[in-house]
């Protein structure tokens, strides 16, 4: 047996969980003030949901899904993204009968993609994301982009760029596809192999190709922004106006096309410029056709996903992680075996008084207990030995100032709680 986590997965160790919790707190706070409520959907869904929702021509569906048959011979897939499951939930429980818009967020949402791991890319990763249904207005798109932007900046991140684009709707996109294919047809021989495949399947993705060879060929290519219908164009202008009014800096980037099929109109990314290269922290957009495509009513939708591991990596790179919190307020040192239970009683009393308290369980020397308390960053230490039991008095030592208060043992939890609280 190989005692090793599967490829592309990560353990969150005790020392690292506080930074996740810190991130979660900020995300929840950001959602709460915008009226988004948390939802939790299953880790796996019927494979068909993703085939239809994400799109069966996408790379995510074609080669990155964790798909298997369960014992009832159902095809099951571990979710590769967050939106499809939320839409399924919406339909299954007829949430669209509630007042619009329906605003939902998810946090620590585990997603799975079978890819070769590298920095910022795990096989299991966690997304924070928003979905809002039932409102077509671009102010909603702007609200979400602003929420993501303010969240990231509030976390202390800088070197961020917001890129927005509109990829039109089923009404105007075909015209763009035709124009683009017309432009590309004369240059096919110069494009990379992948792009030649994309030409028939999804020509818009060629714009997204990172190959310098292909980029070279794309000079003078038609822009989707010149082909938008009136409705999409107005929507895009509304979005820009709203973002401007909210002081969210943004760049129009007609190269953003996104890899998931369900997007319409708005698409956006928030990119962090790491020293090693750009990293997309957040990606999302509008998907007005998705709910209907999955068998529901015609219902507009907007959402984004934010990679939690990537945000944490950016925070680490920029040194804006939260400071390490002390583990305990008060450490109770035990001097002598007969005192073991009274020490636990005192520790428990301190905990009941609302303090973070700990004691010795391994029988260390007093000196070693002080060292241990120091490593836990304990702010106070109490020594409980036979002397204290006899006299009924204990000394509370402030580890920073070395001052000691003498207190009656009987009333210790309340007295100590007062002192510690006053000190905070």
Q: Which residues are at the interface with RNA (CB under 7 A)?
A: 4-8, 58-60, 64, 81, 113, 115-122, 125, 127, 194, 205, 208-211, 258-260, 269, 276-277, 280-283, 305-307, 309-310, 335, 362, 364-368, 370-375, 381, 383, 385-388, 395, 397, 399-400, 402
- The nearer residue to RNA, 72 or 349, going by C-beta atoms, is 349
CB nearer to RNA: pick between 234 and 391: 391
- C-beta closer to RNA: residue 14 or 72: 14
**CB of 81 or CB of 358, closer to RNA:** 81
| Closer CB to RNA, 188 or 237, in the complex | 188
At its nearest, how many Å lie between RNA and the CB of residue 93?
A: 25
User: Closest distance between RNA and the C-beta of residue 253, in Å?
Assistant: 13
Least separation in angstroms between CB 147 and RNA: 15
In whole angstroms, the minimum distance from the beta carbon of 406 to RNA comes to 10
How far apart CA 199 and CA 184 sit, in angstroms, is 8
Task: Report the nearest approach of RNA to the CB of residue 307 (Å).
Answer: 3
- Distance in Å, CB of 234 to RNA, minimum: 26
C-alpha triplet 128, 151, 327: angle, nearest 5°? 80
Nearer to RNA, 125 or 236 (CB): 125
Shortest Å distance, C-beta 71 to RNA: 25
Specify the residue, 269 or 329, whose C-beta has the smaller distance to RNA. Answer: 269
Measured from the CB atom, the residue of 16 and 237 that comes closer to RNA is 16
Q: Report residue 142 as tokens.
A: 């702007």
Q: How far is the CB of 72 from RNA (least distance, A)?
A: 27
């Amino acid at each position: 047996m190989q005692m090793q986590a599967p490829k592309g997965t990560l353990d969150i160790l005790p020392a690292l969980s506080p930074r996740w919790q810190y991130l979660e707190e900020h995300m929840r706070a950001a959602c709460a003030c915008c009226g988004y409520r948390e939802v939790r959907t299953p880790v796996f869904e019927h494979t068909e949901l993703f085939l239809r929702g994400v799109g069966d021509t996408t790379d995510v569906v074609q080669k990155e899904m964790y798909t298997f048959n369960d014992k009832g011979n159902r095809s099951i897939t571990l979710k590769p993204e967050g939106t499809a499951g939320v839409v399924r939930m919406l339909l299954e429980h007829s949430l669209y009968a509630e007042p619009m818009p329906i605003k939902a967020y998810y946090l620590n949402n585990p997603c799975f993609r079978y890819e070769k791991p590298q920095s910022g890319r795990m096989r299991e990763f966690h997304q924070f994301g928003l979905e809002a249904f039932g409102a077509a207005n671009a102010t909603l798109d702007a609200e979400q982009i602003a929420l993501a932007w303010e969240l990231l900046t509030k976390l202390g991140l800088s070197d961020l760029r917001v890129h927005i684009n509109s990829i039109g709707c089923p009404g105007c996109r075909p015209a763009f596809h035709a124009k683009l294919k017309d432009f590309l047809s004369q240059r096919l021989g110069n494009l990379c192999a992948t792009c030649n495949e994309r030409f028939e399947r999804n020509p818009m993705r060629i714009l997204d190709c990172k190959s310098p060879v292909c980029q070279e060929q794309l000079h003078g290519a038609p822009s989707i922004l010149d082909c938008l219908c009136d409705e999409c164009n107005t929507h895009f202008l509304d979005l820009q106006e709203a973002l401007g009014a909210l002081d969210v800096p943004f760049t129009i980037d007609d190269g953003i096309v996104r890899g998931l099929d369900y997007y319409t109109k708005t698409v956006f990314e928030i990119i962090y410029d790491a020293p090693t290269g750009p990293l997309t922290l957040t990606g999302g957009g509008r998907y007005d056709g998705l709910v209907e495509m999955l068998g529901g009513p015609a219902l507009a939708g907007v959402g984004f996903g934010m990679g939690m591991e990537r945000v944490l990596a950016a925070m680490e790179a920029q040194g804006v992680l939260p400071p390490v919190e002390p583990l305990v307020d008060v450490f109770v040192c035990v001097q002598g075996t007969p005192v073991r239970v009274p020490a636990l009683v005192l520790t428990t009393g301190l905990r009941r008084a609302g303090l973070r308290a700990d004691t010795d369980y391994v029988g260390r020397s007093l000196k070693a207990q002080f060292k241990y308390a120091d490593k836990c960053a304990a702010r106070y230490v109490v020594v409980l030995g036979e002397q204290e039991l006899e006299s009924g008095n204990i000394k509370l030592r402030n580890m920073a100032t070395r001052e000691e208060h003498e207190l009656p043992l009987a009333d210790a939890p309340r007295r100590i709680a007062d002192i510690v609280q006053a000190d905070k």
